[in-house]
Amino acid sequence: MNVDFTPTDTANYSNASKNVQSMFLEATPEITWSKPADIIYETALNSTHLDASASVDETYTYTPASGTVLSAGTQTLHVDFIPTDTANYNITSKNVTINVLKTTPTITWNSPPDMIYGTSLNSTQLNATASVNGTFVYAPINGTVLSAGTQTLHVNFTPTDTANYNITSKDVTINVMKATPTITWNSPTGIIYGTALNSTQLNAAASVNGTFVYTPASGTKLSAGTQTLHVDFTPADTANYNITSKDVTINVMKATPTITWNKPANIFYGTALNRNQLNASASVPGNFVYTLGVTQLGIIISFLTTSSLSELI
């Protein structure tokens, strides 16, 4: 570098000059690169995160490279800047940090089909799956018998890779329907008309505790023929069991009345038969028809009824 000096007082001073050597250093470009917004694990790095810029033309080399999936946590992003004009600009670099949040796995678990009270929970109901490997813990647990009604099933999922995935959970509902008790009651053995119904005929049993109400009731005397017996069963636990009923049939056979008729006293020939001899009685109301056989004469005399006999005497 050269400098020429002209003094103000040229009458007394001469012009002068001087040369010196100077070194011009390369400039360091300024890189502009703000800390990227948080991302979720499994998100690949892209131009949204790797977006450094500088005041001169340049080439950027990022570490990690675009497309990299970072682990959860605070991670460092690095860029090397190579200016196009390396004669006048230095190669430089810059670091920023990015926060990688854990991902929450997706649990797939639909509400199971209805089940009947008394059925234990099993893999048909407890069948959740997740988007990553891990362990499921159900509440209520496998083997539990739920009460009737709409019940909630819950699962906690712990991923194998807890460094990058959150522990999560899910609830579903299941409808537990009341069970219908089983009534055991065979058609009773036939009875004879006049026999009152009792525990021999009204002997239904059920698969659970409860109360039986019979129709007709105990003590009833049924008419002859095929009759229907009915029972209504109310379980003690009506929260979980349905009220139910059952019918059976019973054959009521006709009864045979008892006839009381003692052998009459001897009579003399020529004595007309009358109520002294024809005095049968029965255990139920009805009509008597008397028949007399006289083998010597070959004659059959019929007395139609007790009342008609009086007309003959």
- Give the residue with greater pLDDT, 297 vs 287: 287
Domains 31-101 and 107-177 share a fold: yes
pLDDT at 293: 61
Confidence of residue 307 (pLDDT cuts 50, 70, 90): very low
Over residues 126-155, the pLDDT tens digits come to: 999 999 999 999 999 999 999 999 999 999
Cβ within 8 Å of residue 61, ≥6 positions away: 79, 80, 82
* pTM, two decimal places: 0.72
Q: Mean pLDDT, the chain, as a whole number? A: 90
What are the extents of the domains in the chain? 31-101, 107-177, 183-253, 259-312
Structurally, at CATH architecture level, domain 107-177 sits in: Sandwich (2.60)
Hey, what CATH topology would domain 31-101 get?
Immunoglobulin-like (2.60.40)
Structurally, at CATH architecture level, domain 183-253 sits in: Sandwich (2.60)
Tokens of 285: 């109301």
Residue 64 burial (10 A CB sphere; 0-12, 13-18, 19+): middle
Of 165, 167, 151, the C-alpha closest to 119 is 151
Confidence of residue 294 (pLDDT cuts 50, 70, 90): very low
| Average pLDDT, integer, range 21-27 | 61
Over residues 74-117, the pLDDT tens digits come to: 999 999 988 887 777 888 899 999 999 999 999 999 999 999 99
